[in-house]
Amino acid sequence: MMEFKKLVPYREALKLLLDDINEIEDTEKVPLREAVGRVLAEDIVTEFDIPPFDRAAVDGYAIRAEDTFQAREYNPIELTVIEEVPAGNVAKEEVTTGKAIKVLTGTRIPKGANAVIMQEMVKREGDKIYVLRPVAPGQNIAFTGEDVKKGEVVLRKGTILRPQDVAMLKALGIKKVPVKVKPKVGIIITGSELIEEPSEEGFKEGKIVETNSIMLQGLVEKFFGEPILYGVLPDDESIIKETLEKAKNECDIVLITGGSAFGDKDYAHKFVNLLFHGTTIKPGRPFGYGEKVFIMSGYPVSVFAQFNLFVKHALAKMVGAQNYEVKVKAILQDDIPSQLGRYEFIKIYYENGIARVIKKKGSGILSSLLASNAYLEIPEDSEGYRRGEEVWITLY
Are 345 and 315 contained in the same domain?
Answer: no
Q: Which of 269, 264, 272 is nearest to 245 (CA)?
A: 272
Structural domain span for residue 221: 10-25+182-319
Q: Full-prediction pTM beyond 0.85? A: yes
Counting the structural domains of the chain, the total is 4
Q: Which residues of the chain have pLDDT under 50?
A: 1-3
Pairing relationship of beta strands 194-195 and 253-257 according to DSSP bridges: unpaired
Q: Which of 246, 262, 242, 266 is nearest to 254 (CA)?
A: 246
Q: Which of 319, 338, 370 is where one domain is finished?
A: 319
Q: Which of 122, 132, 124, 139 is nearest to 64 (CA)?
A: 139
40-76: pLDDT as tens digits: 999 999 999 999 999 999 999 999 999 999 999 999 9
Give me the residues paired with residue 194 across strands: 208
Q: Which of 319, 351, 371 is where one domain is finished?
A: 319
Q: Is residue 1 part of a domain?
A: no
3-class DSSP assignment, residue 14: helix
C-alpha 257/C-alpha 381 separation (Å) is 29
225-257: pLDDT as tens digits: 999 999 999 999 999 999 999 999 999 999 999
Are 222 and 248 contained in the same domain?
Answer: yes
pLDDT at 2: 44
Yes or no: say if 62 and 113 are a contact pair by the CB < 8 Å rule: yes
Are 175 and 41 contained in the same domain?
Answer: yes
Are 260 and 291 contained in the same domain?
Answer: yes
Are 39 and 157 contained in the same domain?
Answer: yes
pLDDT at 269: 81
Q: Is residue 235 part of a domain?
A: yes
pLDDT at 30: 98
Yes or no: say if 22 and 318 are a contact pair by the CB < 8 Å rule: yes
